[in-house]
Amino acid sequence: MEASRPLDALNNARNKRVIVELKNGSQILGLLRAFDIHINVVLDEAEERKEGQLLRKLGTAFLRGDTIILISPAQ
């Protein structure tokens, strides 16, 4: 995804699977459905993982922007 502004990169990832890393060390994977300028994001089919292992399935998840470290395409 090529981008001149950071939010363009998030827009390119919309409806694709992403990994979201949180400040508390957990990773949430899911389909990126929505985001805003605070980097609040909504994932569908979300699940939490730790060191590659599934911890739990969340379904839809609203993540508050200020808890997020990075967002990257899931591989």
| Binding-site ranges for a second copy (CB under 8 A) | 1-10, 13, 22-25, 28, 33-36, 39-42, 46, 57-73, 75
CB of 59 to a second copy, least distance (A): 6
CB of 45 to a second copy, least distance (A): 12
Q: Do 55 and 48 form a contact (C-beta atoms < 8 A)?
A: yes
**Residues forming a β-bridge with 30:** 18
CB of 49 to a second copy, least distance (A): 13
CA torsion 12-13-15-20 (nearest 10°) is: -160
